[in-house]
């Protein structure tokens, strides 16, 4: 989906009959390219069942295609408009490449957050202005990492990134929850339905219940909430990329 944030207009890209690992994916700074990790489980196919691809956003058709064959590591981050870090891990096989963008072999993320989704996701959050303030582990199969970002008017957006076996119904093993923390004592607004949230310029944007929302940030909290788009009625369409 292409989101024009100046006009809040939305354009359908392409669907995938499979699983896109959004926490191991990234959009280039100018919005022109995407790098994503995906899996369809067809282990004997050309894709080897899982792969990292680079495409022209908002489409998924690969201009660079790296087969994987497992779900360890994979995906990557953009280090510039035309350079990317490939989360190689146990290794990819180059099925076909492109000269439009190039792999940044000099970049190495600082810190190790494992070979699954946090290994890309946490580096993306830190790059994009989030601060990792706490790591809490209750046992070997359940932990949460606390990120925060100041959003103005005395408020901080807190992102609680969960990693657990036996997650709540409707959640994957990696899922986020959010809350707004004010400057006053015990000034907290819990946002249990928010699946994603961030700052877009001076406004707060978030996703909940298949919809995208925005609101102003004021000293008393959030105001002038608007629904930007409702995605719930979307159904699969076979869309051909224009390249």
Report how far residue 121's alpha carbon sits from residue 127's, in angstroms, rounded to the nearest whole number. 10
On whether the pTM is more than 0.85, the answer is yes
Distance CA 200, CA 184 (A): 24
Regarding whether 169 and 88 lie in a shared domain, the answer is: no
Residue-range definition of the domain harbouring residue 185: 129-243
Residue 222 has pLDDT above 90, yes or no: yes
Residue 57 lies in a domain: yes
Q: Are residues 45 and 98 in the same domain?
A: yes
The answer to whether 18 touches 47, Cβ cutoff 8 Å, is no
Position 155 in a domain: yes
Q: Is residue 122 part of a domain?
A: no
- 3-state SS, residue 13: coil
Which whole-number Å values give the CA distances from 4 to 57, 74, 81, 175, 196, in the listed order? 12, 28, 18, 26, 18
Q: Is 2 part of any domain? A: yes
Q: Which of 113, 140, 172 delimits the end of a domain?
A: 113
Model pLDDT, residue 141: 85
% of the chain exceeding 70 in pLDDT: 100
Peptide bond into 58 cis (omega under 30): yes
Locate tokens 């046992």: which residue? 139
Number of domains in the chain: 2
**Structural tokens at position 210:** 């298949």
pLDDT at position 140 over 80? no
Nearest to 159 by CA among 167, 149, 150: 149
In this predicted structure, what is the pLDDT of residue 120?
98
Collapsed DSSP state (helix, strand, coil) of residue 122: helix
Last residue of a domain, one of 84, 113, 142: 113
- Would the CA dihedral through 206, 201, 125, 83 be positive or negative? positive
Tokens of 98: 């492109």
The reply to whether 109 and 145 lie within a common domain is: no
Task: Determine the pLDDT at residue 53.
Answer: 98
215 domain-assigned: yes
218 with 137, same domain? yes
Own/partner pairs, 64-71, CB within 8 angstroms, 24+ separation: 64/96, 64/97, 64/98, 64/101, 65/94, 65/95, 65/96, 66/92, 66/93, 66/94, 66/95, 67/92, 67/93, 67/95, 68/37, 68/92, 68/93, 69/43, 69/93, 71/21, 71/39, 71/116
> 44 and 11, same structural domain?
yes
The owner of tokens 């930007």 is 228
Instruction: Name every residue whose Cβ is closer than 8 Å to that of residue 169 and which is 6 or more positions away in sequence.
Output: none
Mean pLDDT of the chain: 95
Q: Which is it for the CA torsion 3, 85, 100, 43, positive or negative?
A: negative
- Per-residue pLDDT band for 117 (boundaries 50, 70, 90) equals very high
The pLDDT of residue 74 is above 80: yes
One domain for residues 236 and 144: yes
Question: Can you tell me the distance from the alpha carbon of 205 to that of 104, in angstroms, rounded to the nearest whole number?
Answer: 31
Find, among 192, 191, 217, the residue nearest to 204 by Cα.
217
Residues 204 and 162 in one domain: yes
Q: Are residues 219 and 155 in the same domain?
A: yes
- Mark whether 139 and 239 lie in a shared domain: yes
Which residue is listed with tokens 């907290």?
188
- Cβ atoms of 103 and 148 closer than 8 Å: no
Residue 124 is assigned to a structural domain of this protein: no
Confidence class for position 119, pLDDT limits 50, 70, 90: very high
37 and 106 belong to one structural domain = yes
Q: Of 113, 148, 179, which one is at a domain's C-terminal end?
A: 113
In a domain, 138, yes or no: yes
């Amino acid at each position: 989906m292409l989101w024009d944030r100046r006009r809040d207009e939305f354009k359908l890209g392409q669907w995938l009959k499979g699983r896109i690992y959004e926490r191991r994916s990234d959009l280039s700074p100018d919005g022109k390219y995407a790098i994503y990790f995906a899996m369809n489980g067809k282990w004997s196919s050309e894709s080897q069942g899982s792969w990292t691809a680079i495409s022209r956003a908002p489409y998924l058709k690969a201009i660079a295609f790296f087969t994987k064959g497992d779900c360890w590591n994979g995906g990557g981050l953009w280090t510039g408009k035309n350079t990317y870090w490939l989360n190689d891990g146990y290794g990819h096989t180059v099925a076909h490449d492109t000269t439009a963008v190039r792999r940044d072999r000099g970049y190495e993320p600082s810190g190790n957050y494992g070979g699954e989704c946090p290994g890309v996701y946490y580096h993306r959050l830190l790059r994009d202005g989030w601060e990792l303030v706490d790591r809490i582990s209750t046992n070997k199969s359940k932990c949460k990492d606390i990120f925060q970002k100041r959003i103005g008017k005395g408020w901080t957006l807190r992102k609680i990134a969960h990693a657990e076996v036996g997650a709540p119904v409707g959640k994957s093993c990696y899922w986020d929850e959010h809350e707004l923390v004010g400057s006053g004592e015990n000034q907290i607004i819990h946002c249990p339905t928010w699946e994603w949230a961030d700052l877009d310029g001076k406004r707060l944007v978030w996703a909940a219940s298949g919809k995208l929302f925005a609101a102003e940030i004021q000293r008393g909290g959030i105001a002038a909430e608007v629904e930007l788009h409702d995605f719930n009625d979307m159904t699969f369409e076979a869309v051909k990329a224009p390249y």
